[in-house]
Amino acid sequence: MRPKRNLWQNLIKFSKDKPLGAFGGSVAVLLIVLAILAPLVATHNPETTNYRAVLATPSVDMLLGGDQLGRDVFSRLIYGTRISLLVGILSVLFGVTIGLAIGLVSGYFGGAVDLAVQRLMDAVMAFPALILALSIMAVMGASIVNVIIALAVVFIPGASRTIRSQALSIKETDYVLAARAIGVSDLRIMVRHMAPNLASTYIVLATISLGWAIVVEASLSFLGVGVPPNVAIGAGQRRRKTEPKTQEEEGKGRMGTGSPGKTEGKNLKDEPT
C-alpha cells in the first residue's frame, strides 16, 4: 500500500509530473492575490480622470499609459481583473454546483426523471453560450449579480451532463448497491456515497469553466451589457480604433486571466486521485 502524502508532497509531485499545470496554478494564485490587493497594487484610482494624460504613452507614472479620459490603464486593468475574477469564480461556483446536483439526481434515478432532465438540458445547450447570456442580460438588465446569474445558467447544462455520466457508473458500484440493499435513503446515498467520488470531476469542471467565464464576461462588457460601470476587462475593446494600445493591454489581461484556469483544469483532468 502506498504511503499517504501530505499536501506539500502532493504539490511537489504534481509540479514535477505536470509542470504546465503547476505554472497555470501559480499564475492563477498570483492573479487572485493581485485582485485581493488591488487597492495596494494599483498606482492610481481607476476612476480618476486627468485630461493632461489623455491617451498618454506608458511612463514611470502611468505604466501602461492613459485612456481617452486620462485614466490609468494599468490601474483599470488591475481592478478589471478583480471584477472578472469575482464574476468568474462566483458564476462557476453556482453553475457547476447546481449542475452537480442536477446531474447527480438525473444519473442516480434514471428513467423518466433522467429523460426529462436531459431534454431540458439539451434545450438550454441548443443556444450558444454568449447568445444565451445576452438574452438573460437583456431581460434582467446589466448588473454584477445578473452577470453572475447569466453565466451560471450557461454552465449548468454542460456540468450536469458530465456529472450524470459519472453518476451512472458510480451508482452501479458495490458500495452504493450495498447501501441501497440495507435501506439507506436515496438522499443519503447521493450526498454521502456518490458526491464525494465526484469531487475530482467537479474541480476539473470548475477550473476549466473559470477561463470560459472570464472570456464571456469580457465579451458582455465589450457589448455594453456587462458589469457597470464597465471597469472590467473587455470594456475598452469598443475603443479599439481610437486606442489600439488600450485594446492590446486589455487583450493581454484577458489572456493572462483566462488561460491559467484552463491550463490548470486540463492538467488536473489526467491527474490520478
In this predicted model, what pLDDT tens digit does every residue of 199-250 receive, in sequence order? 889 988 888 888 888 888 888 877 777 776 555 554 455 455 555 555 555 5
For the residues 12-30, what does the mean pLDDT come to?
72
- The answer as to whether 2 is a domain residue is no
What average pLDDT is seen over the chain? 79
- The answer as to whether 112 is a domain residue is yes
Mutual angle of helices 129-140 and 199-222, in 10-degree steps: 60
132: domain CATH number is 1.10.3720.10
Q: Is the pLDDT of residue 140 over 90?
A: no
What is d(CA 163, CA 121) in angstroms, rounded to the nearest whole number? Answer: 13
Confidence of residue 118 (pLDDT cuts 50, 70, 90): very high
DSSP 181: H
74-96: per-residue pLDDT in tens? Answer: 888 888 788 888 888 999 999 99
- The answer as to whether 6 is a domain residue is no
| pLDDT attached to residue 66 | 78
What is d(CA 251, CA 115) in angstroms, rounded to the nearest whole number? Answer: 42
Q: Which domain holds residue 19?
A: 15-269
- The answer as to whether 230 is a domain residue is yes
- The answer as to whether 53 is a domain residue is yes
- Enter the pTM of the model: 0.74
* Tally of domains within the chain: 1
Confidence of residue 273 (pLDDT cuts 50, 70, 90): very low
What is d(CA 258, CA 212) in angstroms, rounded to the nearest whole number? Answer: 7
- The answer as to whether 3 is a domain residue is no
Phi-psi region of 55 (alpha: psi -120 to 50; beta: other; left: phi over 0): left
Q: Is the pLDDT of residue 162 over 50?
A: yes
- The answer as to whether 1 is a domain residue is no
Element (H, E) at 272: none
- The answer as to whether 178 is a domain residue is yes
